[in-house]
Structure 1
């Protein structure tokens, strides 16, 4: 940690000590429950703190990584060298007329509940997505015939020069599991949704229906990162995997879910390497059988464990 002594002193001048953790085991901060330690993990409480931390890292030549709810990442067993900036404490949600503004660390679930409470329709699809608003914007997350691009009006992002930019929907370039935020490595800080006035009971019934469908069809009882692979054009990843007779196949403690083949789960104390080896096995098998490339939807970060 000697390399980080200087930045530690400066971090302590920027944010409270309670929001700085050394050698933080990333398995405790991700939904997959795998991953080695991060050298430093910080949880800023304002946009200004985020900007200052990133500026510090750049000035000191220290790598940094932005994460939200940790629901769409696999951290390798060797952990992460540098600073992990976890935005989960930026979670304020504000309702004004038919618009909702949510900070990047707010979960999609809580944001959809705020919409329901205000009888605003449009975010029902998001009620069971475990990710943060910032991560969902970055990946243009979606489910059950809905996606972020349908309801996002604008966002505030931090660009690579430390400038705050307000981008409208067109400027955000929201595509299938992609956006300008991802393309340019911006940091999403706040999202405004344009919704419509609806009826509370109809909104609630739709959310209950989607929650039941999710529980019936997805392996929510196990740690995972949701759908492991992007949908290949003209196919469904889960069906390709099932038709390749991979349902239930495991590597170590990682398994292709018996309930939904599109999910790789941490079935029994898996390591990150177990998960990554199983991803490769699935990709190789589907490629050989159907000549289709499966691309991971999950983000893979960190270093391999040195044996």
Structure 2
């Protein structure tokens, strides 16, 4: 869609002109380095600005998409129509008693580091998860036996109508890599994590061990979306892919990692189409060889490119 001067002016009045970008390349804002243009890319600086942007999108009937820091996301080459909002400027983290409170745009890694600095245990598992706090709640992110639902106490969200609500963790229906956030259309503004006092050296020892495991086993030298697939019941996705002899398989610039079969890396300026086609090839091959359907953990959004 062509962005009207009317829409641009209204968005600029809600926040500021420097926070409103037209025809912004999404690949500049995703871990995979994939994705076409957003009609409007906006980075609000307050909760009230988020509310007003949502209300304006509703009033003007403009499509609206929430984008975290793009660590578990593939945006198609045709980009995203309407307004794309990123909360990267809402990134404060602070302590209140035995709790860490983090805004949606903060990295969950930084929340875990703040917990370490405050001698609070419980977020160690998140020390290597690259997503934002909002994204971590969206998919109930987890690693090494821990997950968000283990420590989340409550969250502040904006509803799709633009109202602010405080919800308990239970109200989010957190389950393995899922929540009701997408179905309800919530936008996470803030999360409160209930932690426990502990010795900082013990916390650091756990985090150092998890960091070593991550860096030694994962292909962090290339852009990727992290683990592409959910763990199928009774199996490990990476082992199935490895046993299907798919490591090193390439479509264009996308490759099934030789270091960790559960990762697909953007090795050489891949397009989103190439990346998605490789995901589908892996799913098809594993299904034919083992009869197991690999379900994507990564989200795919946006439009196909115009031929």
**TMscore range, shorter length:** over 0.9
1:225 is the counterpart of 2:212: no
Is residue 7–residue 57 contact of structure 1 (8 Å, CA) maintained in 2? no
Give the TM-score of the pair, scaled to structure 2: 0.98
Give the TM-score of the pair, scaled to structure 1: 0.98
Q: What is the distance in 2 between the residues matched to 1:2 and 1:31?
A: 27
Question: Which structure 2 residues correspond to residues 90-109 of structure 1 after superposition, within 5 A?
Answer: 90-109=90-109
Q: What is the distance in 2 between the residues matched to 1:21 and 1:258?
A: 38
Show the counterpart of 2:209.
209
Is residue 14–residue 49 contact of structure 2 (8 Å, CA) maintained in 1? yes
Q: What is the distance in 2 between the residues matched to 1:222 and 1:113?
A: 24
Q: What is the distance in 1 between the residues matched to 2:3 and 2:189?
A: 29
SS in 1 for 2:224: coil
Change (3 A) 1:78 1:230: same
Question: Which structure 2 residues correspond to residues 110-129 of structure 1 after superposition, within 5 A?
Answer: 110-129=110-129
Question: Which structure 2 residues correspond to residues 113-192 of structure 1 after superposition, within 5 A?
Answer: 113-192=113-192
Q: What is the distance in 1 between the residues matched to 2:221 and 2:291?
A: 32
Is residue 54–residue 160 contact of structure 2 (8 Å, CA) maintained in 1? no
Instruction: Give 1:145 deviation, angstroms.
Output: 0.6
SS in 1 for 2:50: helix
- Cα deviation, 1:89-134, whole Å, max 9, x if unaligned, reads 1101110111011010000111011000000000011011000001
When structure 1 is superposed on structure 2, of 292-301 and 106-115 the one drifting more is: 292-301
Q: What is the distance in 1 between the residues matched to 2:136 and 2:271?
A: 26
Show the counterpart of 1:78.
78
Is residue 75–residue 302 contact of structure 1 (8 Å, CA) maintained in 2? yes
SS in 1 for 2:156: strand
When structure 1 is superposed on structure 2, of 164-173 and 9-18 the one drifting more is: 164-173
SS in 2 for 1:127: helix
Measured on the aligned residues, the alpha-carbon RMSD in Å equals 1.0
Aligned residue pairs, count:
307
Instruction: Give 1:167 deviation, angstroms.
Output: 0.9
SS in 2 for 1:131: coil
Q: What is the distance in 1 between the residues matched to 2:37 and 2:180?
A: 30
Q: What is the distance in 1 between the residues matched to 2:156 and 2:219?
A: 34
Show the counterpart of 2:266.
266
Q: What is the distance in 2 between the residues matched to 1:4 and 1:289?
A: 51
Q: What is the distance in 2 between the residues matched to 1:271 and 1:223?
A: 12
Q: What is the distance in 2 between the residues matched to 1:24 and 1:298?
A: 22
- Cα deviation, 1:21-78, whole Å, max 9, x if unaligned, reads 1111111000000111111100011111111111111111111110111111111111
Is residue 139–residue 182 contact of structure 1 (8 Å, CA) maintained in 2? no
SS in 2 for 1:225: strand
Show the counterpart of 2:18.
18
Is residue 100–residue 115 contact of structure 1 (8 Å, CA) maintained in 2? yes
Q: What is the distance in 2 between the residues matched to 1:120 and 1:153?
A: 15
SS in 2 for 1:226: strand
The answer for unaligned runs of 5 or more in structure 2 is none
Instruction: Give 1:283 deviation, angstroms.
Output: 0.8
Q: What is the distance in 1 between the residues matched to 2:167 and 2:214?
A: 32
Is residue 3–residue 40 contact of structure 2 (8 Å, CA) maintained in 1? no
1:195 is the counterpart of 2:176: no
